[in-house]
Amino acid sequence: MPFRVSGELRRLRSLMAESLISHLSQPGRQAISPLSSVRRYGALDQDPIAAGRELGVDTVLDGSLQRSGNRLRVAARLLRVADGQQLWAQSFDQDFTTIFDVQDTIAARVAQAISVGQGVGSTRGTPYTQDSEAYALYASGQFAWARQTEPSLLQAIGFFEQAIARDPNYALAYASLADTYALLGVFGMRAPREVFPKARSAVEKALSIDPDLAAAHSALGHIKMMYEHDWDGAAREYARALQIDPSLAVAYHRRGLLYAIQGDIEHALQANARAQQLEPLWLAPKGAAGNFLYLAGRYDESIQLCEKILALDEGADNARSFLIRNLLVKGDYERALAEYDRRPLQMPGSNAHRAQALALSGQRAAALAELDRVLKFSKERYVPAYDIALIYAALADTENTFLWLDRAVEDRSTLMVFLARDPMFDAFHSDPRWNALVQRVGA
The CATH architecture to which 129-246 belongs is Alpha Horseshoe (1.25)
CA atoms within 13 A on the CB side of 315: 5
Distance CA 317, CA 136 (A): 29
Secondary structure (DSSP) of 192-232: HHHHHHHHHHHHHHHHHH-TT-HHHHHHHHHHHHHTS--HH
Distance CA 191, CA 184 (A): 8
124: left (phi over 0), alpha (psi -120 to 50) or beta: beta
Domains in the chain: boundaries? 3-125, 129-246, 354-443
pLDDT confidence of residue 114: 52
pLDDT confidence of residue 281: 76
Could you please state the CATH topology (level 3) that the domain comprising 3-125 is classified under.
Answer: Rossmann fold (3.40.50)
Contact 100, 130 (CB under 8 A): yes
pLDDT confidence of residue 284: 87
pLDDT confidence of residue 36: 54
Burial class from Cβ neighbours inside 10 Å (0-12, 13-18, 19+) for residue 112 reads middle
- H helix runs in 313-363, sequence order: 317-330, 333-342, 353-360
Contact 333, 361 (CB under 8 A): yes
Distance CA 326, CA 341 (A): 16
Alpha carbon 150 to its chain centroid, in Å, reads 13
Give the sign of the dihedral formed by CA 115, CA 117, CA 119, CA 123: negative
**What is the mean pLDDT for each group of 10 consecutive residues in the chain (443 residues)?**
46 58 52 56 66 74 71 74 74 63 61 44 50 84 86 95 95 96 95 97 97 95 96 97 92 96 95 89 88 96 96 91 97 96 91 97 97 96 96 98 97 94 96 94 81
pLDDT confidence of residue 5: 42
pLDDT confidence of residue 120: 33
Burial class from Cβ neighbours inside 10 Å (0-12, 13-18, 19+) for residue 29 reads middle
pLDDT confidence of residue 280: 81
Element (H, E) at 432: helix 432-441
Contact 60, 79 (CB under 8 A): yes
